[in-house]
Structure 1
């Protein structure tokens, strides 16, 4: 996982982990570092990612009392998370998982706690992946599911969020909806993401180097230029976007990109809040079971619940 690489990089650079980091977070980082990192075929990488999702996710499902079902919405495969006591007429959350656009590294672990803490049903889109389906395939899948949900739930009662690649997709989906003059969701969450694939940012340069990120971005973009506003919404209009929560961490290679998008949203007059965690790597909540992950999920859930409750009829 990327988290282990950043932990190693920080240690090599002589930057010890913060004293305040929990024992559970330290153990989670060590466990991630111990996972095999040998080169795999794409099928093997995806199977390994799914194994991690199931391992951590099944514990989460038991801990939080959430049920998970596989399904399809608008012909797109999804995972549906239903918390205890979820209201049929309540808000609905749409999740776009992380995984660098090539694997699914979050369709369970990103969503079980959020479903439980909000009390809202979560629909996780299992969008098409690269290299088989470059842009705009994943975005088209997200849009199809969003439009289907919007036929039964007022868009102002829909929250859209994602981590890493899913956060990038969340921004792209919002820009697409705005471009097509479709109703925007009531809230969005950009969790360790970016609004400009052409500018990885200073944190990426310092922690991982920009070349690997540019290669991932270009593989996803296919024939599109990385500065195309459809791929990089921060290069287009940001006025009128929904209330947005941005979350990152101090050893997150997408820290700069997340903060920059949040700042540009604020400058455009869209309500945007930025929360940063200390001493942890990219998207840590998706694969580390620790109090810091619990806190991150609580921040996300409070924002989504408060914002969508405020838009209630």
Structure 2
């Protein structure tokens, strides 16, 4: 595919790229409602009052990413569905909106995508045309994002396709059950079921697990649960911008409110979706909010976020806890990016982000 055709694809997919990110929804049918930002419980110290300001698009990123950063907030970002039918309609819109980007990624990398089941769970097996020699016996396991409610079916496999293309490694992307029909622990149960099947076929030291947002959180939760149950751990993990704290208490939740143009603020659909997923369970349970768990014995990890990411604090805090537990952990924070925007296909920054993750897996997985 030529450079010119890449440019044409990027122009045509200006909307679908945002839909693909997991924080940007085709929610135009839902009326956006303005409301004041409410801070989570804080200390008695006085909050800092900030003057109104205009936030420029940084000139320190590629032109393509500048267009992503300059985009307005997603339509209906804070219009919260009131019933299951509306949540399901939102999920259907997310899948339809992601479809053009999914097709373009598959074509660009020349991927074969096969749908099957493992342990009764739907999965997509993604195989690049040319698997790197060192990856012939390796496998990467992908857990998609979308707040535990969005991107059903192949729409959730886009990040897995990107990784298969960049890493030149086979990927299994898990199409786990989601809220509202299947709240916690359905998604985690599905991840563990697939992991159990794969352990029968692969050496765990030759497998890695990765995902972004809810997928990043599920990556961490799967390790907590595998540790507790004495199940073999993967050789490395790559949780991207993990939704690691369902109390939504990190500093960047407020500091990057309305700076992040994907999730926007804690008053968004994503907060409501995480509450829907958790149900009546304690949000501080490490299998819901992995930040509250014990990170000792975790496999090597690389974490990815952006300077404008609403969940930057979740990512940084997770990295700190891993390091304090003696775990090998890398952190890449990408210039100007809001939540999950390193998933935007065909940008130089995407090449760089996935290149770092692919190298980390290559360095830490057994061959």
TM-score when scaled to structure 1?
A: 0.89
Larger Rg: 2
Which runs of no fewer than 5 residues in structure 1 stay unpaired?
none
User: Match for 1:108 among 151, 157, 170?
Assistant: 157
From 74, 82, 86, the equivalent of 2:127 is 82
Matched, 1:143 2:192: yes
Is residue 174 of structure 2 the alignment partner of residue 125 of structure 1?
Answer: yes
For residues 183 and 242 of structure 1, the distance between their equivalents in structure 2, rounded to whole angstroms, comes to: 11
Asked whether 1:95 is paired with 2:135, we answer: no
Is 1:196 equivalent to 2:242 in the alignment?
A: no
C-alpha distance 198-133 of structure 1, shift in aligned 2 (>3 A): same
Aligned to 1:42: 87
1:66 matched residue in structure 2: 111
**Alignment pair present for 1:246 and 2:303:** yes
Deviation at 1:85, TM superposition (A): 2.9
- 1:1-313 equivalences under 5 Å are 2=23, 13-29=53-69, 33=72, 37=76, 41-86=86-131, 89-104=136-151, 107-206=156-255, 207=257, 208-212=264-268, 214-287=271-344, 289-308=346-365, 311-312=366-367
Task: Determine the C-alpha separation between the residues in 2 that align with 1:214 and 1:46.
Answer: 15
Conservation of the 8 A alpha-carbon contact between 2:126 and 2:164: yes
Q: 1:270 to 1:254 in 2, by over 3 A?
A: same
The offset of 1:218, in angstroms, is 2.1
Q: CA deviation at 1:56?
A: 0.8
Distance 1:34 1:199 in 2: 20
Distance 1:214 1:178 in 2: 28
- Which stretches of structure 1, 4 residues or longer, exceed 6 Å deviation after superposition? none
Structure 2 Cα separation of the partners of residues 272 and 264 of structure 1: 10
In 1, distance between residues paired with 2:355 and 2:186?
31
* C-alpha deviation, 1:199, in angstroms: 4.4
- Give CA-to-partner distance per residue, 1:224-277, whole Å, 9 cap, x none: 101112222332221110000000000100000111001100000111111000
> Matched residue of 1:111: which SS?
helix
**Structure with greater strand percent:** 1
- Match of residue 8 from structure 2: none
How many residue pairs get aligned? The number is 304
What TM-score, normalized by structure 2, do the two folds share? Answer: 0.76
Q: Is the 8 A contact 1:130 1:219 kept in 2?
A: yes
Unaligned runs of 5+ in 2: 1-18, 26-36, 38-51, 258-263
Are the equivalent residues in 2 in contact too, given 1:96–1:125 (CA < 8 A)? yes
Cα contact 1:3–1:282 (8 A) shared by 2? no
Task: Report the CA distance between 1:198 and its aligned residue.
Answer: 2.6
Of the structure 1 ranges 144-153 and 294-303, higher mean CA displacement relative to structure 2 is found in 294-303
Is the contact between residue 136 and residue 169 of structure 2 (CA under 8 Å) also seen in structure 1? no
Report the secondary structure of 1:63's partner residue. helix
Q: Contact between 2:57 and 2:69, CA under 8 Å: does it hold in 1?
A: no
- Residues 169-216 of structure 1 show CA distances to partners (whole Å, capped at 9, x for unaligned) of 001001000000111000101101143323431111221444545533
CA contact 2:124–2:173 (8 Å) conserved in 1: yes
